[in-house]
Chain A
Amino acid sequence: MEILIATIVRGVGIGSTYALIAVGFVIIYRATDVVNFAQPALVILGAYFNALFVFNYGLPFPLAVVGSMAAMALIGALTERVALRPMVGQPPFSAAMVTVGLFFALYVLAARLIGSNVITMGDPWGLSRVEFLGTTVGQVDIAKTIISLTAIAVVGVFLQRSKLGLAMRATALDQEVALAQGVNVGRMFGVSWAMSGALAALAGVMIGTAGGGMVALDAFVALKALPVIILGGLDSIKGSVVAGIFIGVAEALTRTYQPGNADFLGANFDVVVPYLIMVIALMVRPYGLYGTKEVQRV
């Protein structure tokens, strides 16, 4: 029982992080119809900035997080302006291919910057544990959950309530009509990328708080947001949250219980679980749990 609770808490923690990355995908997809495959590279780049701010510039952790989010917002907006804006009017598939190129470019950049080092985030949680439902769980897992879900909630309220959020949603629904209302559609694209960049940085920090720190290759942890958006629906923030937590928990449960119970599946089977869920989702419900039906895939 205690193991189960600890496992679920760990799953919810990492799942919330997946959700955070997935929301970044969703924001850009809704604004521009493009699946941004560069998102995982933005995630580790964000973690790199956080480590840089903490260890090279001596910033306290919370300030470093805000700083890396701001830096990645800027990089996100710049990337959109330079690489994606010229693609406006081209098929979404071509634009998605540009983001694949961007992924490799940014990944190589991040890998160069991080080198072969393991980076840590300078977070206050480390390995400390707290009492939870009669067992002890990692403080960091609770922190991840609270921070990620809060960030997502802030994004949701911003989109739903603010004037800029309304303009972003209008752009997502019908760009020409948004233009006719005086919305600067190009700027909305930029804002979407900036928001995704900031969320990516936050997610990078969350991934980097893992016990062993993180390496450049952890971009592939971030890539698990892909199964999340397929399961949740490309255009649904709610879907990202539900699917993110579902996949995080499924992965954690597999890691805990598969060895010893289903050894024939091989070692590290948990790594495959998100993709297995993705394949099943694609077969059973191709537009995802909460996605819009006619959403077209690239």
Chain B
Amino acid sequence: MLAMENLEVVYEDVILVLKGISLSVPEGSIVALLGANGAGKTTVLRAITGLLDVHRGKITKGTITLDGKPIHHMDAPATVAAGIGQVMEGRRTFTEFTVDENLRIGAHTADRGTVEANLDRIYTLFPRLAERRKQVAGYLSGGEQQMCVIGRALMAEPRYLLLDEPSLGLAPLIVQQIRDLIVAINEQGTSVLLVEQNANMALAIASHGYVLETGKVVMDKPAAVLREDDDVREFYLGLREEGAASFRDVKHYKRRKRWLS
């Protein structure tokens, strides 16, 4: 079980973004994490995967545990080695690498012996990638790039896979494919924490869901209950049409590769 207890995260030493969040992903499950722009969903994932310091963020309170062992002090490579894989927001393919290289870098922490078998597994899971394995990833379509980064994360054989808005900017048909793939990956034994604004898609496959609002968990219920909840229906299931669409346009902070420049 991957669990987070009462977590507080601060950016730049002053901006309190997560205000005591508790959530858990039981082994074998798919858990959805919903919330509008700026709610703190990505920050939750960064906290789990040791990427906060790249963004000048810090955990100031609380714990994150994997099977009871604390992991919130680990750096990113250590969390990968501990069995947590992630697909970052905005895909982030290595656009200059070939598809093959993109997948291979995902196996950086894995045993050399596992690489070829995993490549085979992923190319079977994503036949479209197999056809393009020698192509530069930057030329792939959005959906193919999403598959490429999901495949990349699977190369390390993670026990827990964290997905940050995998449906973002994809056509409905592709979103369906991605959804089915997440189910397939889960059935092969990987537990999933699925961050989405597309609540429809997420709640359709999740067993449990959390709704985040300005850094707090405001709902923590079985997915079936959330699907029927009036507020969720209104805000996230598109029954009030302007909602989801207009939220998209107000990404209010631009991702900066602070650590690099």
Contacts and interface: CB of A to CB of B under 8 A. Distances in A.
B76 A182 contact: yes
B81 A182 contact: yes
B156 A182 contact: yes
A163 B259 CA distance: 24
A176 to B, nearest CB: 5
A34 to B, nearest CB: 11
Given A167-B108, A184-B77, A173 B260 contact: no
A163 B108 contact: yes
B88 interface: yes
Interface string B75-101: 111001100001010001011110001
B97 A169 contact: yes
Contacts of B49: 180
A181 B54 CA distance: 14
A91 B80 CA distance: 28
A174 B94 contact: yes
A68 interface: no
Interface in B95-136: 95-97, 101, 104-106, 108-109, 112
A236 interface: no
A89 interface: yes
B86 A175 contact: no
Contacts of A173: 94-97
Nearest to B106: A181
A182 B261 contact: no
A201 B224 CA distance: 66
Given A169-B97, A170-B94, A180 B86 contact: yes
A92 interface: yes
Nearest to A178: B105
B185 interface: no
B51 A181 contact: no
Question: Chain A binding site: helix, strand, loop or mixed by DSSP?
Answer: helix
A170 B259 CA distance: 15
A89 B105 contact: no
A177 B261 contact: no
Interface string B129-158: 000000000000000000000001000100
A155 to B, nearest CB: 18
B261 A33 contact: yes
Nearest to A160: B101
Interface string A139-153: 000000000000000
A61 B162 CA distance: 54
Contacts of A88: 259
Contacts of B97: 169-170, 173
B101 A176 contact: no
Contact of B105 (A33, A91, A92, A183): A183
B254 interface: no
B76 A180 contact: yes
Contact of B94 (A91, A92, A177, A179): A177
A277 to B, nearest CB: 28
Interface string B49-82: 1110010000000000000000000011100110
A83 interface: no
Nearest to B79: A182
Contacts of A175: 54, 257, 259-260
A182 B257 contact: no
B240 interface: no
Given A166-B101, A166-B104, A173-B94, A181 B80 contact: yes
Given A91-B261, A173-B96, A174-B92, A179 B108 contact: no
A88 to B, nearest CB: 7
B104 A182 contact: no
Contacts of B80: 180-182
Interface centre among A169, A174, A182 (most CB of B within 10 A): A182
Contacts of A174: 92, 94, 257
B258 interface: yes
A292 to B, nearest CB: 9
A181 B108 contact: yes
29 contacts: A89-B259, A167-B108, A169-B97, A170-B94, A170-B97, A173-B95, A173-B96, A174-B92, A175-B54, A176-B51, A176-B54, A176-B92, A176-B259, A177-B92, A178-B105, A179-B50, A179-B51, A179-B54, A179-B76, A179-B77, A180-B49, A180-B51, A180-B76, A181-B106, A181-B109, A182-B80, A182-B81, A182-B108, A183-B105
